[in-house]
C-alpha cells in the first residue's frame, strides 16, 4: 500500500493494538487499498476499481450488516489521511452515500 503519511498510519496501527474493532477497520482499509492499487494498474477508472475492490474486500473480511457500514466508514476515514488515493476514495465514497440517500428519498 502506497502511503503518503507513514507516521499517521503507524500511529493508527499502534492505537488499534489489542482492540478488535479498530484493527478490523485498519485491516479492511489495507486490503481495499492494496486491491485497488492492483486494479488501477490496468483500469484507469477510479470508481470502477473502488467498487470492484470494495466487493472483493467485503467478501475477504466476511462483513455483514451494520458492522460492515461502520468498518467501511472508518476504513475510508483512515485511508483519507494516509493513503495516496485516500482523498479520492473519500470523495467517491461520499458520492456513493449521497446517491443512496437520494435514491431512498
State the pLDDT at residue 96: 85
Using the predicted structure, report yes or no on whether residue 97 has a pLDDT greater than 60.
yes
For 48, 73, 99, the CA distances from 102, given in Å and listed in that order, are 21, 19, 5
Mean pLDDT over the full length of the chain: 91
Mean pLDDT of the 71-78 span? 94
Q: Taking the CB of residue 50, how many other CB atoms lie within 10 A of it?
A: 22
pLDDT of residue 68: 84
**pTM of the full structure:** 0.88
Q: What is the pLDDT of residue 17?
A: 86
Per domain, the residue ranges of the chain are 6-104
**Span 21-53, pLDDT tens digits:** 999 999 999 999 999 999 999 999 999 999 999
Amino acid at each position: 500500500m502506497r502511503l503518503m503519511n507513514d507516521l499517521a498510519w503507524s500511529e493508527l496501527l499502534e492505537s488499534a493494538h489489542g482492540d478488535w474493532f479498530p484493527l478490523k477497520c485498519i485491516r479492511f482499509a489495507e486490503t481495499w487499498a492494496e486491491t485497488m492499487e492492483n486494479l488501477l494498474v490496468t483500469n484507469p477508472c477510479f470508481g470502477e476499481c473502488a467498487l470492484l475492490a470494495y466487493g472483493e474486500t467485503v467478501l475477504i473480511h466476511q462483513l455483514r450488516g451494520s458492522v460492515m457500514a461502520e468498518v467501511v466508514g472508518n476504513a475510508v476515514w483512515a485511508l483519507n489521511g494516509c493513503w495516496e488515493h485516500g482523498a479520492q476514495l473519500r470523495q467517491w465514497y461520499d458520492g456513493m452515500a449521497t446517491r443512496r440517500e437520494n435514491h431512498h428519498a
